[in-house]
Amino acid sequence: MSRVLIIGAGGVSTVTVKKCARLPEYFDEIYLASRTVSKCEALQKEVGADRVKAVFAVDADNAGEVESLINEVKPDLVINLALPYQDLPIMDACLATGTDYLDTANYEPKDEAKFEYKWQWAYQDKFKDAGIMALLGSGFDPGVTNVFTAYAAKHYFDEIHYLDIVDCNGGDHGQAFATNFNPEINIREITQRGKFYEDGQWKETDPLSVREDLDYQNIGVRPSYLMYHEELESIVKHIPGIKRARFWMTFGEAYLNHLRVLEGIGMTSIEPVEFQGQKIVPLEFLKAVLPNPGSLAEGYTGMTCIGTYITGVKDGKEKTIFIYNNCDHAKTNEEVGAQAVSYTTGVPAMIGAKLMLDGTWKKPGVWNMEQFDPDPFMEELGKHGLPWHVIECDQSPFSK
């Protein structure tokens, strides 16, 4: 008998709620809370009140409110699918109530676009002492990409030297400009300076200034840009021997042109400005006028390809492998009414939760995905709609 409280009712949550609802043997009772309760009600109506037992309005920026809600629901696990800003208040509420915690994105202060684990890692001893667990970053990237790396380290290499995580969305949603997950978080992420790890140091690049044209399985060649992504920090810390770790994401010319214009006129700024007698944050306003990522699913064609290129040594010989998943927007829409970016995040959140609830991944403290045995997670991925493949490459596809 297990009970989960899911916080957030956006694109990712929609997928996780629907996937959890199909597994009553692991998720007996699902409770759903978010800032806008009508979104929870709509999801409950779709999934059924027999599976989503009750819905609540909560402001998860307020740890006290979350604590009261946890005391009312008494869940075994809180699945945080709100925004990175809410990670710490929700972790505080979990600590106060002795409840396990899971999220898909690391904490970021609202007034500073800074993706770092230091704030959440600082809870390690407190969670351990309380005998509760936090699983950080159980989405696709971070999440599955961490597990892919741990899987390669376990089964394919004696030592991993070079890691390149690649994230390609080869889909077409037909909109002039839209982001595939929360626009505010997405734009904060891609407009920051690039950063990668090499020879024990973090090196910076200008935003989206380093490009490789990579050939993605079942998609084709796409321009891919080096950027910083949070899983690099934890993987480099937890997988020994890595000499270089980078992250690449594909962007089309039209997308980049829109972004350049929006940046050029200050619309992506997180500095508040005075507008008609009140302070507004330009990026928050931009989010309000952009399409809701959850609404992109209808008519979205094409697929994503996200994976990890890994070069290392096995039995004294150097080799490169690519572990990846393709996910088709139209198929995920048909299955759960969501596009592939929400799907590839929402499914791993459900899997991480399932492994915690059944005790497969369970130890007190605060952990990243690569710190657990990857095999059970990899097994679940294929079963729940995210099949993966391993290719042995003749050589690394990167020119530098």
Residues 36-95 that bind ligand NDP (CB under 6 A): 36, 39, 58-61, 81-84, 86
Residue 385 interacts with ligand NDP (CB under 6 A)? no
Place of tokens 């995210």: 386
CB 53 within 8 A of CB 40: no
Window 90-119: contact mask with ligand NDP (x via CB under 6 A): --------------xx--------------
Question: Which residue, 101 or 157, has its beta carbon nearer to ligand NDP?
Answer: 101
**Burial class of residue 130 in the structure, from the number of CB atoms within 10 Å of its CB (0-12 exposed, 13-18 middle, 19+ buried):** middle
CB 191, CB 114: distance < 8 Å: no
Nearer to ligand NDP, 312 or 348 (CB): 348
The site for ligand NDP, by CB under 6 A, has a size of 34
Q: Decide if residue 295 touches ligand NDP (CB under 6 A).
A: no
Omega before 142 cis (within 30°)? Answer: yes
Which pairs from 38-47 meet CB under 8 Å and 24+ separation?
39/9, 39/10, 40/9, 43/9, 43/13, 43/14, 43/17, 46/18, 46/337, 47/17, 47/18, 47/21
Nearest distance in Å: CB 147, ligand NDP: 12
Q: Which one of the spans 125-133, 137-145, 254-262, 381-389 is the region binding ligand NDP (CB under 6 A)?
A: 137-145
In the bound state, the residue with its beta carbon closest to ligand NDP is: 10
Six token digits for residue 287: 């989010």
Task: Report the sign of the C-alpha dihedral through residues 309, 233, 79, 372, in that order.
Answer: positive
Token pair 């039209």 in the structure block, residue: 254
Among 75, 143, 312, 374, binds ligand NDP (CB under 6 A): 143
State the number of CA atoms in the 13 A half-sphere of 57 facing the CB: 4
Binding residue for ligand NDP, selected from 5, 6, 12, 17, defined by CB under 6 A: 12
- Structural contact between residues 333 and 363, judged by C-beta atoms closer than 8 angstroms: no
Q: Which positions from 298 through 317 interact with ligand NDP, judged by CB under 6 A?
A: none
Site for ligand NDP in 188-247 (CB under 6 A): none
Instruction: Tell which positions 154-193 bind ligand NDP, by CB under 6 A.
Output: 181-182, 185
| Shortest distance, position 250 Cβ to ligand NDP, whole Å | 15
Residues that bind ligand NDP in the complex, under the rule CB under 6 A: 7-13, 34-36, 39, 58-61, 81-84, 86, 104-105, 137, 139-143, 181-182, 185, 293-294, 345
